[in-house]
Amino acid sequence: MRGTMTGQETFDVAVIGGGIAGVSAAAELAQDLRVVLLEAETQPGYHATGRSAAILAQTYGPPVIRRLTQAASKVFEAPPEGFPDGPLVSPRGLVRFASAENIDAVRAEFEATAADASLTWLEPAALEARVPLLRKGYAAGGFVNDAAQDIDVHALLTGYLRQFRARGGEVRTGAPVRGLVRKGTGWELRTGAGTIQAGILVNAAGAWADAVAGMAGVARQGLDPRRRSAITFEAPRGCDTAALPMLVGGDEDFYLKPEAGRLMASPADATSSAPCDARPEEIDIAVCVDRITRAFDLDVRRILSSWAGLRTFAPDGSPVCGFDPEQGNFFWLAGQGGYGVQTAPALAALAAALIRGGTPEGDLADRSLLRDLAPGRFDATVTG
């Protein structure tokens, strides 16, 4: 499929969405296929990818996410050839602490996930010694994951883009998809940068993935974009942010972590939203400040920046990765929730194997994992 058909450019695969999911999958596919990557914005990674807290935490998320994170760890530990020099991850650590109201739930989570990573349980005095910012008497206990790491999202995205282009892939920015029409065994895509044809369409459109499906006449998967907000502010005088772990509240209703010498915090909001260029709401910022000042000895006098992004969830909370059960050349790669960056290498490798008709390897070969990710595993609603 390397020529033209009816005067239009023709590709083996068209990937819709230039976030980390689409870029990483496109790079994997471009090893032996002609691939075009379509991004509506002027640059890849503009939406959720560029607004991620970017932590690699082995115990973060449901079992399917933890399995994908384990499979992805090989890329983070040893970046592929062509990636920027330097590591993709750096030590951070993560502390999950509980108040008296949620200590039982946090203790149960520790016991359920301790085998997946090297976790250590800490009683209140030890927690306060480990995290001097904690208000005295707030924490009733918690656990530490010393293996958690910061992810360099820019380096990860840049590395996959370099790979993609080096393998002959074409990136089209400012190219929103405005129409999808079945043409024989493939697709005609009408975009803001012209019309192209492709044999297989990969739907990695994030918050817009169900809209893309509707445009193609494919059953939606019930994806739910949810807004997540964050702020940054100056750290207290004398606070060593470089040594501070990521700090997560017992109900996962707020978190605090270092960010370029400052502190970043989030109320861990998850408000359903229409697909959009998300912006933070004043109430969410106020809730964020209230929650972190209750838990930490902080005086947030001035917010330096605030932003929001959309994290898109499938009905059961696990990603959707696989060919549509009704449209065999429409591939879903969506619904990564808040885990898109840390699972991207695994989902990209899995998507590429399935699209080529091969068998996933290593940690991705388990058929139960494929069933847990398959489109159509829950009730889908057909749209026109």
Question: Using one digit for the tens of pLDDT, what is the confidence trace for 133-153?
Answer: 999 999 999 999 999 999 999
**What is the rounded average pLDDT of the residues 51-65?**
86
pLDDT at 82: 85
CA-based R_g, the chain, Å: 21
Q: What is the pLDDT of residues 260-311, one digit of tens each?
A: 899 999 999 999 999 999 999 999 999 999 999 999 999 999 999 999 999 9
The pLDDT-based confidence of 60 (bands split at 50, 70, 90) is: confident
Matching residue, tokens 């050349």? 329
For residue 224, what are the contacts with CB-CB under 8 A and spacing of at least 6?
Answer: 272, 312, 313, 314, 315
Handedness of CA 375, 381, 382, 383 (dihedral sign): negative
CA–CA dist 63, 132 (Å, integer) = 32
Count the neighbouring beta carbons within 10 Å of the beta carbon of residue 298.
19
Point out which residues pair with 322 in neighbouring strands. 332
pLDDT at 7: 54
Whether the pLDDT of residue 1 is over 90: the answer is no
Sequence length of the chain is: 384
DSSP letter at 312? E
The pLDDT-based confidence of 58 (bands split at 50, 70, 90) is: confident
The dihedrals phi and psi of 304, each to the nearest 5 degrees, come to: -85, -35
Residue by residue, DSSP assigns 41-62 as: SSSTTTTTGGG---EE-TT-SS
In contact, 227 and 269? CB cutoff 8 Å: yes
Q: Which of 3-17, 66-80, 248-262 has the lowest mean pLDDT?
A: 3-17
In contact, 300 and 289? CB cutoff 8 Å: yes
CA–CA dist 160, 164 (Å, integer) = 6
Q: Look up residue 79 and give its amino acid.
A: P
What's the pTM value of the predicted model, to 2 decimals? 0.93
Q: What are the contacts of 133-137 at 24+ separation with CB within 8 A?
A: 133/236, 133/239, 133/244, 133/247, 133/256, 133/296, 133/297, 133/298, 134/97, 134/295, 134/296, 134/297, 135/294, 135/295, 135/296, 135/297
Question: Which secondary-structure segment (H or E) carries 130?
Answer: helix 124-130
In contact, 270 and 239? CB cutoff 8 Å: no
Q: What is the pLDDT of residues 36-45, one digit of tens each?
A: 999 999 999 9
Q: Look up residue 82 and give its amino acid.
A: G
